[in-house]
Amino acid sequence: MEAATPPPGPLVVAISSRALFDLEESHRLFEREGIEAYQAYQREREDEVLAPGIAFPLVRKLLALNAAAPVGEGGVPRVEVILLSRNSSDTGLRIFNSIQHHGLDISRATFTSGAPTWPYVRPFGADLFLSANPESVRRALEHGIAAATILPAKAPAHRHNQLRIAFDGDAVIFGDESERVSREQGVEAFGRHERERAREPLSGGPFRGFLDALHRLQEAFPPGEDSPIRTALVTARSAPAHERVIRTLREWGVRLDEALFLGGRPKGPFLETFGADIFFDDSDENIASARSHVAAGHVPHGVANS
């Protein structure tokens, strides 16, 4: 008799305090005057609630999914958010006070007193790591963890209740082999390369595992317009290079609700139309286009970041 397949665990997202809250004033103080001034500043204001940061709406929507779907086996939530901070537990008191004030169901956290936070991502079993620290993100990616750099900013305006996540394809969901052909041999060679391999699945990129986990979470809800999660592929590819992408996702058994093949058009306006809560891309140029419209996470992976 075959053993029963264990139920999938929760989708786990690890996030830095600077991505979750607007800490830029105190961060500038730290850079200008040092750690002691920073510590005194946070202690004096530990009862002052921090304003939401760039990734706050994303986190709120993720945690809201626990109320919208039945919990997993044994009462395990569908989504868990972990806070990782370079603050000390002492100066981190203001952060936890702010978490409680905003009603965020975050109970697990690590405060490292200035040490890197990325080594704790894997022990927590995180599917995704969002941080304002580019070096932490790079190290996490090197260790096989889906990670992106979030440029700190105030939270964007609320637009809708549905969680909407958009991904670039090559070097994010997929490996960067095809992108290397494009950069090293040109667009015509890229098109020929993809036509010849249209039925050969692309390799998985650093965000394949997160995409799988997100897809499993989506399956806990009824499909269609009423689903609380909507996903999109937003890629510079165009026909005929689209076929390999479609066949790869079919081979993986992963659903993306929308697919935008833009043929090199700027991505920002399309992401705004989609209403992305966050967009992941490996290209600095695409991130710059996206950031003027939506929250964007830079994935420093692949040939574009060599």
Domain assignment of residue 6, yes or no = no
Q: Note whether residue 155 is domain-resident.
A: no
78: exposed, middle or buried (C-beta count within 10 Å: 0-12, 13-18, 19+)? buried
Q: Is residue 171 located within the same domain as residue 62? A: no
**Which tokens go with 6?**
């264990």
Residue 43 lies in a domain: yes
- Domain end marker among 88, 122, 150: 150
Q: CA-CA distance, 38 to 21, in Å (whole number)? A: 16
Place of tokens 């510590």: 39
190 and 135 co-located in one domain: no
Phi, psi of 140 (to 5 degrees): -65, -45
The runs of H, that is alpha helices, within the chain are 17-20, 24-33, 35-44, 56-68, 93-101, 134-142, 177-185, 187-196, 208-218, 242-252, 268-274, 284-291
Task: Give the pTM.
Answer: 0.92
Domain hosting 86: range is 11-150
Provide the CATH number for the domain around residue 34. Answer: 3.40.50
Q: Indicate if 210 and 297 belong to the same structural domain.
A: yes
Residues 173 and 284 in one domain: yes
Domain boundary among 99, 119, 150: 150
284 is catalytic: no
Q: Are residues 237 and 258 in the same domain?
A: yes
Please indicate, yes or no, if residue 4 is contained in any of the structural domains: no
Task: Report the alpha-carbon distance of residue 45 to residue 212 in Å, rounded.
Answer: 41
pLDDT of the residue at 191: 83
- Verify that 19 and 133 share a domain, yes or no: yes
- Classify each residue of 244-262 as buried b or exposed e, where b means 16 or more C-beta atoms within 10 Å of its C-beta: bbebbbeebebebbebbbe
The answer on 247 and 191 residing in a single domain is yes
pLDDT of the residue at 4:
41
- The answer to whether residue 182 sits within a structural domain is yes
Among 168, 277, 281, 282, which one carries the catalytic annotation?
168
pLDDT tens per residue, the chain (306 residues)? 344 444 567 999 999 999 999 988 888 988 898 888 888 888 999 999 999 999 999 999 999 999 876 555 556 689 999 999 998 888 889 999 999 999 999 999 999 998 999 999 999 999 999 999 999 999 999 999 999 999 887 778 777 889 999 999 999 999 998 888 888 888 888 888 888 888 999 999 999 999 999 999 998 888 777 889 999 999 988 888 889 999 999 999 998 999 999 988 999 999 999 999 999 999 999 999 999 899 999 999 988 887
Residue finishing a domain among 150, 174, 204: 150
Contact (Cβ atoms closer than 8 angstroms) between residue 176 and residue 204: no
Q: Is residue 156 part of a domain?
A: no
Give the CB-side neighbour count of residue 287, counting CA atoms within 13 A: 17
Q: Are strands 296-298 and 147-150 parallel, antiparallel or unpaired?
A: antiparallel
Domain assignment present for residue 223? The answer is yes
| Nearest partner of 88 among 147, 29, 36, judged by Cα | 36
Cα separations (Å) of 249 from 8, 146, 202, 243, 285? 20, 18, 9, 10, 26
Rg over alpha carbons for the chain, rounded to the nearest Å, is: 20
Residues 238 and 145 in one domain: no
Domain total of the chain: 2
Asked if residue 41 is part of any domain, the answer here is: yes
Q: Are 133 and 174 found together in one domain?
A: no
Do 225 and 127 belong together in one domain? no
Cis omega (within 30 of 0) on the bond before 240? yes
**Pair (229, 182) in one structural domain:** yes
CATH number at residue 273: 3.40.50.1000
Structure tokens at 45: 């204001």
Whether residues 171 and 264 share a domain: the answer is yes
